[in-house]
Chain A
Amino acid sequence: MAGDRIALQSTRPTEFMDLTGRLQRVIEKAGLLNGRVHLQALHTTLGLAMNENEPLLLADLEAMLRRLAPAEATYLHDDFSLRRAVPEDEPANGHAHARNLLLQPSLTLLVEDGELLVGRWQSVFAVELDGPRAREVAIQLEGEFAKGRPDRTRRLIELELERQLHADPEQVGDPMRRLVEAGGKRFRPFLVLLTARLGPAYDPLRAATLAAAVELIHAATLVHDDYVDESPQRRGRPTVAAAEGPARAIAVGDFYFAKATRLIAELGSPDVTSTIAVAMEAICRSQIDDLELRGRYPGDEADYLRVVRGKTAALIAAACVAGAQLSGASAEVVERVRRYGDAVGVAFQMTDDVVDFSDRSGKPMGQDIRERVLSLPLIYASEDEALGGEIQQLLAGPLPDRELRRVVELVGRSGALDRVNREATDLVQAALRELEGVDLDGVKATLAEIAESVVDRSA
């Protein structure tokens, strides 16, 4: 038996939140091979359901709930003069409780061969009836577990990376292997493998090669970045520049830029080659911009978006596009996943910026400010009428610990963190809209899950 929780944040009064992708990841994380997964909503105005994730149908179902239990009907539950010990923040939500009777408080689903057993059109929903609110769904899994079994997609990525690094000369291969083995989200290769399923020419081995090449490009940029930023550590280990010296770090980065380019060229898809080449150019261009902007820190929103679109979003969007192109997906699908990747990439960086102001980031709070790393919360806070002047004055100085703490405090007081969080959430919603009304052949739920996870993280 294993247990877990899914945390949700609804954004509307009534909302169908698709849990299918997240459930699959819970199953993979737990290593459940065959058995059952039990779900239970931990709220009286949150229900569970299985149905088709089709926007018009979901609108129909919302309308049905409204018809059967109208908000404007009379509910004794809403007459606070009749109830005892009503909390101050109690909402008038009799209709939501009534609607919940039409749904399930719990579900049991089957798992076969490590996969949630759902039909082609079935999705699992948590149905918000009184949002927006923070919600939780409890999960228990039982059956046959393969402990430590990594999820298959991740395993494919790791195997391909290992294969690619295995034959490289040790002077470049060893440092890169240490960096790759130290971890990382594998966000970009995962997107490649997902979108590579969207066309008729899906080939898992070619997709894995492309995925590994994209991750190697990302890793090569990190090797050079760490030298430029003089960072001593990455993923808890010394950076390549710190461990091997800057000259070796430059050679390692160059080697893997070139190797990744070759691997992609050898796939023989000119469109894929062009997509990645354009993204690499955007990354390198924005790294120069980023370095130049440190002279007029913290910059403005336009500077920020230009740099982030290049440094972060370009390769994420290219990963989505290249995977789809490799499999011969339609032009419409390619364009949709490009816009999805761009929005997710910018939201990813915005959320990273917010996490840097929390004590859960894994590094000293405010360290990025001291290193003059572009930060949207800091930009917004420094434009604040009441607090911006003091922030700008502090940033102009050397920022010893006390002043740095003051900057962090002022950013928190300015409301900039909430504003950036809202904008990141809006971008994720925009990314989710790109997934509507187009045939995404079974990967829609996982793409949606990835987009949502971007703003649902603490580190």
Chain B
Amino acid sequence: MIGTPDLEAIETLWKQGLEEAYTAYRPATTGLDGEDRHRVALAAALIEVALELQRLGRPAAAAPDLLRGDLCLARASRLLADTRDQRLQVSFARAIEERSAAAAAERPLGPARDRLLLAIADGR
């Protein structure tokens, strides 16, 4: 189901949480057209996995995990750019801004999935 270019260099993450997250976000994307449903669900899953890899709000990740997390965030950004949907792009960016600012301030972070589901809803 997931095309190779979307997982290039992060293939191993698919079975390490990405597939589960992707499946969990799919229902929230109902109503978007086929390709955009895939893009938005995968973007949300990539962001969730990235923040987990980078241990945002916890002791720092090791360098390779930080860089894989960066690639996940960048790929999510590119998938959202491919939707050409400005509201979704802004909504997801705000979610990451909020969580990273909270992490920097050492404030407790709620579940990432709840916040990203809200981003999908806000962006539509």
Contacts and interface: CB of A to CB of B under 8 A. Distances in A.
Contacts of A283: 74
A247 B59 contact: yes
B96 A250 contact: no
B74 A169 contact: no
Contact of B60 (A172, A245, A276): A245
A265 B80 CA distance: 10
A284 B60 contact: no
B121 interface: no
B66 A257 contact: no
B86 A268 contact: yes
A257 B104 contact: no
Range of interface residues on A (Cβ < 8 Å): 35 or more
Contact of A254 (B56, B59, B90): B56
B70 A287 contact: yes
Contact of A251 (B8, B56, B78, B81): B56
A255 B60 contact: no
A78 interface: no
Given A268-B86, A283-B74, A284-B71, A172 B81 contact: no
Main secondary structure of the interface of B (DSSP, over half): helix
B93 interface: yes
Given A228-B66, A251-B100, A262 B9 contact: no
A85 B51 CA distance: 75
Contacts of A273: 81, 84, 86, 89
Contacts of A172: 100-101, 104
Interface string A232-256: 0000000000000111111111110
A318 to B, nearest CB: 12
A261 B66 CA distance: 19
Contacts of A259: 93, 97
B60 A227 contact: yes
Given A224-B70, A281-B75, A255 B101 contact: yes
Given A224-B66, A250-B56, A252-B104, A261 B71 contact: no
A293 interface: no
Which of A224, A284, A285 has the most CB atoms of chain B within a 10 A radius of its CB?
A: A284
A270 interface: yes
B74 A254 contact: no
Interface string B52-91: 0011111111011011101101110110111010100110
Contacts of A249: 60
A154 B80 CA distance: 32
Contacts of A255: 96-97, 100-101, 104
A93 interface: no
A258 interface: yes
A268 B80 CA distance: 13
B105 A171 contact: yes
A277 interface: yes
Nearest to A175: B104
A288 interface: yes
A419 to B, nearest CB: 31
B114 to A, nearest CB: 18
B19 to A, nearest CB: 21
A278 interface: yes
Nearest to B103: A251
Interface string A45-85: 00000000000000000000000000000000000000000
Which 6 pairs, one residue from A and one from B, show the smallest C-beta to C-beta distance?
A262-B93, A246-B60, A258-B96, A265-B89, A171-B104, A277-B81
Given A224-B67, A252-B104, 19 more contacts: A169-B104, A224-B66, A224-B70, A228-B67, A250-B55, A250-B60, A254-B99, A254-B103, A258-B94, A261-B93, A262-B89, A277-B74, A277-B78, A277-B80, A277-B81, A280-B74, A281-B77, A285-B74, A288-B64
25 contacts: A169-B105, A171-B105, A224-B70, A228-B66, A245-B60, A247-B55, A247-B57, A251-B100, A251-B103, A251-B104, A253-B70, A255-B96, A255-B97, A257-B70, A258-B96, A261-B77, A262-B93, A270-B81, A270-B86, A274-B78, A277-B74, A280-B74, A280-B78, A285-B9, A288-B9
